[in-house]
Structure 1
């Protein structure tokens, strides 16, 4: 590929376009991703997560293939998941005005959340992905678009699953604007009354930004509660009250007759999902819960979680996978 851009002014359009072309070339052509290095990366004290990992991997002493196989068999070691897309996104962001306070807009089709809009992502959002900190609603929504584009669309899963926008359904909104929350969710539910469907509601508690997943099947009136802190729904009574009211409203609009003694008989299932081990990972866990449910293509979630994904907690590689998917998706969108 043409390398003239490397000697161009770093503030020029030529340099910016050159970095983008390099990123595309690298992620498509590199044969050994774990040893990939993006050129002209600025060195900063805070850039520990990406630069240090790349440098340490690149400087490792080569081990013969036969010896690697022997070690892997003896220890059960797994091949490390390289952070190539994070490294490339990190490099490309340095050529943009993101660090100056500018934002980029992620287009959201109306089919994803029931209304069309653009999700803004700024430096803080990108840093969350690159340096593994608590996730914002912008990052959560961007990953949900990734799931819609890469899983739901190609597999035809939009007939069985839908998303609710956490920007409109967090605890703060439920307390301050309960009528608006009810109206939004009821409209989403009533748009699909002719088929059974599971709706994903990534719920933010507002007290420090804890994320958990509420998955609702309004047709069967079942709510699945997945909290990586292993709390139950009684921790957030306002949320449960609004969800119950929404289901009852949908029931009434569908003109379903229920005996008075069973009017409040909505089933809540607490799922024994993987448990986080710190105060940061809740957002990543919530995203994996949605992804794994889509991969299983099931509108019911077992109370002890899916056999294929059951574990005490997610590994670093499993959480890094979410970040890599996000970075690759943002690069492919060409919104930077």
Structure 2
């Protein structure tokens, strides 16, 4: 249960994407690479441009998942593009940081030049499963929340009911994500 980086989360996004393709529902969900939200080595303008280019081809009804890393902590943003609504999930139960709210607001402003929508971006803080205090499990919690959201038959109901009312993840639930990730790494290693 050590701290994980963006490459681990990116690989897990790949795992989820292939699960969605297999179930023929990949058109409902899109992902943004965590590094595109990171302020390491890039300006906010560059990040706005990268995320905007990714989201410009959004289809009606698609939900966007954006894992966000600030400092040493992972959080998840789920965007309902059609309604310009951002759901913020943080396993430490913090509110959305101003810098990510500003970045997402600028992404929508950038997209509005190609779109007639004029509403402001709204934010909802979701009471999601809480990680153990003094732990570094936030990355695993973000991966598990992404999995729960995209694999749930009623994903919006799961989200708007505060992650189905789940207060924490069990060790087995976290280990399921870790094992999927490890199996993918092993599969990739065996093909090279």
Q: Does residue 76 of structure 2 align to residue 213 of structure 1?
A: yes
**From 169, 181, 185, the counterpart of 2:47:** 181
Give the C-alpha shift of residue 178 in structure 1.
1.1
Q: Extract unaligned runs of 5+ from structure 1.
A: 1-131
For residues 183-224 of structure 1, the C-alpha deviation after alignment (integer angstroms, 9 at most, x for no partner) is 1111111112x422111110000x2x2001011122210101
8 A Cα contact 2:36 2:51, kept in partner? no
Count of residue correspondences: 189
Give the C-alpha shift of residue 296 in structure 1.
1.4
Q: Does residue 65 of structure 2 align to residue 200 of structure 1?
A: yes
8 A Cα contact 1:218 1:247, kept in partner? no
Match of 1:269 in 2: 124
Matches within 5 A, 1:20-99: none
8 A Cα contact 2:127 2:163, kept in partner? no
Match of 1:223 in 2: 86
For residues 32-57 of structure 1, the C-alpha deviation after alignment (integer angstroms, 9 at most, x for no partner) is xxxxxxxxxxxxxxxxxxxxxxxxxx
Provide the C-alpha distance between the structure 1 equivalents of 2:57 and 2:95, rounded to a whole number of angstroms: 29
Give the C-alpha shift of residue 237 in structure 1.
0.9
Match of 1:327 in 2: 182
Provide the C-alpha distance between the structure 2 equivalents of 1:139 and 1:186, rounded to a whole number of angstroms: 23
**From 4, 20, 31, the counterpart of 1:152:** 20
Q: Does residue 2 of structure 2 align to residue 133 of structure 1?
A: yes
Q: Does residue 33 of structure 2 align to residue 165 of structure 1?
A: yes
Shift of the 299–274 alpha-carbon distance from structure 1 to 2, 3 Å rule, reads closer
Match of 2:149 in 1: 293
Give the C-alpha shift of residue 298 in structure 1.
4.9
Give the C-alpha shift of residue 311 in structure 1.
2.1
Provide the C-alpha distance between the structure 2 equivalents of 1:217 and 1:252, rounded to a whole number of angstroms: 19
8 A Cα contact 1:164 1:185, kept in partner? yes
Instruction: Indicate the SS of the match to 1:195.
Output: coil
TM-score (norm 1): 0.53
Bigger CA radius of gyration: 1
Shift of the 172–298 alpha-carbon distance from structure 1 to 2, 3 Å rule, reads farther
Match of 2:102 in 1: 241
Q: Extract unaligned runs of 5+ from structure 2.
A: none
8 A Cα contact 1:171 1:203, kept in partner? no
8 A Cα contact 1:273 1:304, kept in partner? no
Match of 2:159 in 1: 302
TM-score (norm 2): 0.90
User: RMSD value over aligned CA atoms?
Assistant: 1.8
Shift of the 282–204 alpha-carbon distance from structure 1 to 2, 3 Å rule, reads same
Higher relative contact order (CA 8 A, sep 6+): 2
